[in-house]
Amino acid sequence: MTHHRCALVAALSGLCALSCLGASPSSLAPEQQAWLSAARRFERAGWIYLHTEGEPRERGFQHGYLLAPEIAEGLRATRVTWEYHSAMEWPWLVRRATAMFVPKIDAENLAELDGIAEGARAAGVQVSRDEIIAYNGIIELSDYWWPAELKKIKDQPVPEGRQSCSSFIATGRWTKDGNVVLGHNTMQGYEDVLPRIIEDIVPAHGHRILWQTSPGWIHSGTDFFITDAGLVGSETTIGEFDGFDTNGVPEFVRMRRATQDAGSMDEWCAGMKRGNNGGYANAWLLGDVNTKEIARLELGLKYVGYEKKCDGYFIGSNVAEDPKILRFETDSKETDIRASSIARRVRWKQLMKQYAGQIDLARAERFEADHFDTWRGKVQPGGRTLCGHFDLDPDPAGSWPGVPYGCSGTVDAKVVDAALAQRMAFAARWGSACGTPFRAHRFLEAHPQFDWMTGLLKDRPREPWTTFHAGE
């Protein structure tokens, strides 16, 4: 058996689930089989690891084919959630997203999106490129574009901008080895598509990427990444944000281009600012493990905050630090500790001060799993803790999700230091950052007001920390 034939068998070994979709590897064209010979997927500790490489259409086909069952489920969850919250049909959104986004997508990203749709169809999932585009842009569509549209219909203010994710980055005298340490966890609605893909991307042109993403996306979305340029990064959304430019470049396009193309933090930030549409407005925490520098890019629509340092830290908890973004582009009250974003901001500062000079991977893991509620003044998992558990909290901790026992919270944790980043690796934990399992049926039995989520919620058992490397 030739090397390429062995690689193809390995690439297809995880595809048992595709049989129910009507997939048949033998029906693929020789060109498509050759593309798949360079790709592979496997599962570990709740995560799905995916390796793709080559030209954009090839990478897209590999991604779409090998993750077809997960893409089908992600599209289903996104469609149901969109239609429930907006009362507008999914095809209506797809048409508008296509008209707004396609002219702004560069040729390479468009080819990869085409490839994802082609690969998924080859595996038995009936999906168009336009659906994949709307799916990639769902965060900026549902949380930024749609609120502006809804204002026109309701003629009254509409809450905008989710508040989710907890992240920090530190370097210099603040870390144990004097180099960069980064930690991040994703807080989201449990009914949404879950970001359990670790993808290793080797593009024909640009930098190699190892990041967390969702099935069928060309960007990260949770935005935890490493590149072979020595860059590491994460983000937390800017809460209570108001602003969107329909003539700008989609955030998912800018994020992918910046991460693949940039050789420095300055180049990365320039790529994100180019054509900024205000969608998915974030505070980006960046590090360069070669120079030991860290940076924070707060990218609003009208205002931008950018700061670099070789000694210190930056934190992210969904409240803007730049005064102009805070005052002119958000409705946040930065001293209201009842809000999740402010309570977590206070907690981050406490931890940074307490462990200055001791921050390493082990500390980072504990930070992301922290349950101290600074508003209540005690350890109590809930919506105000760095490891978020809105689903356990009877008190809405701010505007998102804005209801008692909101079905949202932390679904992962990732940490990286310079030693791991230089080997293109990071440590990750699937499920709650603290390891607390989530049982979908128990939640729905206890909180029948969320019964519309039946069939969408997935169990997340306790999983261990594990390390992923590029090239596995």
Q: Per residue in 199-248, pLDDT tens? A: 999 999 999 999 999 999 999 999 999 999 999 999 999 999 999 999 99
Distance spanning both ends of the chain, measured CA to CA: 21
* Helix (H/G/I), strand (E/B), else coil: 187: strand
Provide the CATH topology of domain 3-154: Penicillin Amidohydrolase; domain 1 (1.10.439)
How much is the pLDDT for 39? 98
What is the spatial distance between Cα 182 and Cα 180, in angstroms, rounded to a whole number?
7
Start and end residues for every CATH 1.10.439 domain found in the chain: 3-154
Amino acid at 210: L
Among 33-37, 65-69, 153-157, 374-378, which stretch is predicted with the lowest mean pLDDT? 153-157
Question: Mean of the pLDDT values across residues 76-88?
Answer: 97
Long-range own/partner contacts, residues 301-310 (CB < 8 A, 24 or more apart): 301/243, 301/244, 301/245, 301/276, 301/277, 301/329, 302/243, 302/328, 302/329, 303/328, 303/329, 304/273, 306/269, 308/265, 309/171, 309/172, 310/171, 310/172
The number of CA neighbours under 13 Å toward the Cβ of 47 is 24
Residue 220 near residue 212 (C-beta atoms within 8 A): yes
- The least confident of 2-6, 84-88, 446-450 is 2-6
pTM: 0.94
Q: What is the pLDDT of residues 90-136, one digit of tens each?
A: 999 999 999 999 999 999 999 999 999 999 999 999 999 999 999 99
The answer to whether 236 and 316 are in contact (CB under 8 A) is yes
Angle at 344 between CA 463 and CA 281, to 5 degrees: 90
- Fold topology of 166-469: Penicillin V Acylase; Chain A (3.60.60)
User: Which pairs count as long-range contacts for 154-162, CB under 8 Å and 24+ apart, including other chains?
Assistant: 159/240, 159/399, 159/400, 159/402, 160/240, 160/241, 160/242, 161/237, 161/238, 161/239, 161/240, 161/241, 161/242, 161/281, 161/330, 161/400, 162/188, 162/237, 162/239, 162/400
pLDDT one-digit tens code per residue, 12-56:
444 444 444 555 666 999 999 999 999 999 999 999 999 999 999
- What integer pLDDT is reported at residue 398 of this predicted model? 86
At 285-309, the pLDDT tens digits run 999 999 999 999 999 999 999 999 9
> Is the pLDDT confidence value at 443 over 80?
yes
Q: How confident is the model at residue 75 (pLDDT cuts 50, 70, 90)?
A: very high
- Over residues 137-157, the pLDDT tens digits come to 999 999 999 999 998 888 776
